[in-house]
Amino acid sequence: MKSSAAVHRLRLVSAPEGLSFILLLICSVLKRTTSFDAVFPMGLIHGSLFLMYVGFLAVARQQQRWDNKRTLVLFLLSVVPTGGFFAERMLAKEERGEEAAVVTA
């Protein structure tokens, strides 16, 4: 199946979303252990990227006719620290035409 612009957008937002999640976790720890408090701005950034990821995932699912399993795997990767990086790799392989890289049912 040919890759779409929606898959490309999803791939482009997946790594920054994963990085923002890790930075948010670090900010949360620093808030409780030091006087450094950047949770609110990092939370806004991460929340925005997460919403973009979910929106792009929904559009890509519809355009690519992905099954529930593939969509669920990509969604679960967005809620796991460092999962965004794995999602980016999977989507990059799909863009190159190596569809076996993404879980299929």
Q: Residue 105 has what pLDDT? A: 45
Question: In which band, very low, low, confident or very high, does the pLDDT at 22 lie, cut at 50, 70 and 90?
Answer: very high
- Please report, to the nearest 10 degrees, the dihedral formed by the alpha carbons of residues 79, 82, 87, 90 taken in order: -150
Q: What are phi and psi of 16, to 5 degrees?
A: -60, -35
CA dist 53 and 16 (Å) reads: 10
CA dist 96 and 31 (Å) reads: 42
Three-state SS at 35: coil
Residue 97: alpha-carbon gap to chain centroid: 20
Q: Residue 2 has what pLDDT? A: 61
Q: What is the mean pLDDT of the chain?
A: 90
Average pLDDT for 34-61: 96
